[in-house]
Amino acid sequence: MKIAVLPGDGIGPEIVAQAVKVLEKLKAEGAPIEMETAPIGGAGYDASGDPLPEATLRLAREADAVLLGAVGGPQYDTLDRPLRPERGLLRIRKELNLFANLRPALLYPELAGASSLKPEVVSGLDIMIVRELTGDVYFGQPRGIEVRNGERVGFNTMLYSESEVRRVAHVAFGIAMKRGRKLCSVEKANVLECSELWKEVMIEVAKDYPEVELSHMYVDNAAMQLIRAPKQFDTLVTGNIFGDILSDAASMLSGSIGMLPSASLDEHNKGMYEPIHGSAPDIAGKNLANPLATILSVAMMYRYTFADLATADRIENAVKKVIAQGLRTGDIWTEGTQKVSCTEMGDAVLKAL
Ligand code: NAD
């Protein structure tokens, strides 16, 4: 179990340190875990002038899984684009061919008050969004800005090959099998040929998974349904741009960005695991950050890369326990609960584990 640990910038090192404590405990119990740390993002730039240093990429390639904190910070915003921290992140996803992005939107009943929606609409919410991550209009060619008929036009190409749709479909059906066996494929097949093909391939792949109930929804309706009645969804699969937008909307259903983990997988279940939030420069270095999204990212690592569901459940249950105990970092604190620091939250999870 070789894990590349890439803390990154801002609160990255603080939250990753708490997740590493969990991994150290599992290692002490006998798990064959090997961890090595390397800089990425602004830290990579500071160390070697590159947001994805060669040695970091090599380490990530050789590892079975990557644990990432977050990258970015105001001090890097004036760098040339290729040197900016976020470029390091995009490059590592591409270099490792991480085409399937898994983002759960899960709400612990005790935190229902932190959502901007009514508690009864979101309480107990548990959705998994599978977003294709390396294709679609973000990567399709041709793209550009050029002059046509005397004025500038901007253009991009929405493009999916059958094989790209098929491989993400298999990931999504596989995940739906382990959850509620309901998969909703989101596209815009009434208008876009690219979506028409997407839908056809989804229907083909569904034949391999007769236990899973496949449904289809147009993306505009899906946006509405996610806010209107989000608990109707179990697993959702969609392309890169639709997934980008829907997964951010879904993450807000649960109130705090500090609670949500993510995984990005390749064809062999190698994965990069990271919280969905950024480097939170406003609270960096103050021991205030919520480490739970990063700790839950370790649970996802156990679930998807190491296929050790018992340990994944154990980590998730430890997080549930500290929430039930009323411990809260500032971002999820409400009247009547106990405010704790980042390290105190990490220690509490360790104890619950
Ligand atoms: P952000 O997610 O860093 O922060 C948004 C707000 O949420 C802030 O108020 C922050 O304090 C709070 N927050 C985020 N994570 C938290 C946590 N774990 N605990 C408590 N509060 C938390 O987004 P932003 O402010 O838009 O971006 C800051 C930097 O992060 C930018 O440089 C941006 O490019 C980068 N970024 C990186 C990633 C990534 O590494 N995957 C993702 C998004 C943004």
Domain boundaries, the chain: 1-99+266-353, 105-261
CA 283 to chain centre: 21
Length of the chain (residues) = 353
Measure 278 CA to ligand 1 centroid, in angstroms: 3
The architecture that CATH gives domain 105-261 is 3-Layer(aba) Sandwich (3.40)
| Residues lower than pLDDT 50 in the chain | none
From 277, 286, 340, mutation site for ligand 1 pocket: most ligand atoms within 8 A of C-beta: 277
What is the reported pTM? 0.91
Cα dihedral across residues 128, 263, 243, 183: positive or negative: negative
Q: How many CA atoms lie within 13 A of 197 on its CB side?
A: 14
Residue 160: predicted pLDDT: 98
Measure 288 CA to ligand 1 centroid, in angstroms: 13
The DSSP secondary structure of 9-58, one letter per residue, reads STTHHHHHHHHHHHHHHHHHTT---EEEE---THHHHHHHS-SS-HHHHH
Residue 154: predicted pLDDT: 97
Answer yes or no: same fold for 1-99+266-353 and 105-261.
Answer: yes
Residue 102: predicted pLDDT: 96
Measure 281 CA to ligand 1 centroid, in angstroms: 7
Residue 126 near residue 106, CB atoms below 8 Å: yes
- Within 10 Å of residue 256's Cβ, how many Cβ atoms? 21
Residue 308 near residue 295, CB atoms below 8 Å: no
Question: 189-240 pLDDT, tens per residue?
Answer: 999 999 999 999 999 999 999 999 999 999 999 999 999 999 999 999 999 9
For atom 13 of ligand 1, the residue with the nearest CA is 280
For atom 20 of ligand 1, the residue with the nearest CA is 289
Give the dihedral of Cα atoms 178, 182, 187, 188; nearest 10 deg.
180
Q: Work out which ligand 1 atom sits closest to the CA atom of 275.
A: 41
How far apart, in whole angstroms, are the C-alpha atoms of residue 78 and residue 86?
13
Q: Work out which ligand 1 atom sits closest to the CA atom of 276.
A: 41
Q: Residue 101 is encoded by which pair of tokens?
A: 């992005």
Residue 297 near residue 67, CB atoms below 8 Å: yes
Catalytic residue numbers, as ranges: 138, 188, 220, 244, 248
Residue 248: predicted pLDDT: 85
Ligand 1, residues at Cβ distance < 6 Å:
11, 15, 70-73, 86, 89, 257-258, 274, 277-283, 289-290, 293, 329, 331
Mention the CATH class of domain 1-99+266-353: alpha beta
Residue 296 near residue 349, CB atoms below 8 Å: no
Measure 275 CA to ligand 1 centroid, in angstroms: 10
